[in-house]
Amino acid sequence: MSDSRRTQLNDWVNGQLSQILELGSVDIELTTVSGDASFRRYFRAQLGEQSFIAVDAPPTNENSELFVEIAGYLGEAGVKSPKVFAKNYRDGFLLIEDFGDRLYLPRLLTLQEGGLDAISEYQVESLYKEAIHALIKIQSNVDRKKLAPYNREKLRTEMQLFEDWFCEHYLGLELSSTEKDLIASTFTFLEEAALRQAQLAVHRDYHSRNLLILDDTKFPEGSGPGIIDFQDAMAGAYSYDLVSLLRDCYIRWSPDLVESLALHYFELASAAGLVEGVCASQFRRDFDLMGLQRNFKVMGIFSRLCIRDNKPQYLADIPMVIQYFLEVACKYEEMAPFLDWFETKVLVNAKAKLNLEF
Residue ranges per structural domain of the chain:
3-97, 104-354
Beta bridge partners of 93: 56, 88
**Alpha-carbon gap, residue 2 to 167, rounded angstroms:** 33
Q: What pLDDT was estimated at residue 48? A: 86
**Alpha-carbon gap, residue 240 to 254, rounded angstroms:** 19
Residues in the chain: 358
Percentage of the chain beyond pLDDT 90 is: 88
DSSP 309: T
Query: Hey, what amino acid is at 161?
Result: L
Beta bridge partners of 97: 52
Provide the greatest CA pair distance for the chain: 69
For residue 5, count CB atoms less than 10 angstroms from its CB and return exposed for 0-12, middle for 13-18, buried for 19 or more.
Answer: middle
Q: What is the pLDDT of residues 181-195, one digit of tens each?
A: 999 999 999 999 999
Q: What pLDDT was estimated at residue 145? A: 97
Q: What is the band of 222 on the pLDDT scale with cuts at 50, 70, 90?
A: low
Which has the closest alpha carbon to 131: 209, 233, 33, 25?
209
Span 312-337, mean pLDDT? 97
Residues contacting residue 93 through CB under 8 Å, at least 6 positions apart: 8, 9, 12, 13, 54, 55, 56, 57, 64, 86, 87
Q: What pLDDT was estimated at residue 152? A: 98
Q: What pLDDT was estimated at residue 164? A: 98
Span 318-346, mean pLDDT? 98
> What's the CATH code, domain 3-97?
3.30.200.20
Span 131-153, mean pLDDT? 98
Q: What is the band of 223 on the pLDDT scale with cuts at 50, 70, 90?
A: low
Q: What is the pLDDT of residues 262-302, one digit of tens each?
A: 999 999 999 999 999 999 999 999 999 999 999 999 999 99
Beta bridge partners of 54: 43, 95
Q: Identify which has the larger pLDDT, 220 or 319.
A: 319
For residue 221, count CB atoms less than 10 angstroms from its CB and return exposed for 0-12, middle for 13-18, buried for 19 or more.
Answer: exposed
Q: What is the band of 1 on the pLDDT scale with cuts at 50, 70, 90?
A: very low
Q: What is the band of 358 on the pLDDT scale with cuts at 50, 70, 90?
A: confident
Distances (CA, A) of 57 to 6, 80, 228, 338: 11, 21, 14, 39
H and E: helices and strands count for the chain: 12, 9
Distances (CA, A) of 333 to 282, 289, 326, 329, 341: 15, 12, 13, 8, 14
Q: How far is CA 136 from the centre of its chain?
A: 16
pLDDT for 37 beyond 80: no
Q: What pLDDT was estimated at residue 24? A: 81
**Alpha-carbon gap, residue 202 to 240, rounded angstroms:** 7
Tell which CATH architecture fits domain 104-354: Alpha-Beta Complex (3.90)
Q: Any idea which of 37-51, 109-123, 156-170 has the lowest mean pLDDT?
A: 37-51
For the chain, give the mean pLDDT.
Answer: 95
Q: Identify which has the larger pLDDT, 34 or 48.
A: 48
Residues contacting residue 269 through CB under 8 Å, at least 6 positions apart: 136, 139, 238, 275
Which stretches within the chain are classed as H helix? Answer: 3-20, 64-76, 104-113, 118-141, 152-161, 177-195, 240-246, 255-271, 280-307, 318-329, 336-341, 347-354
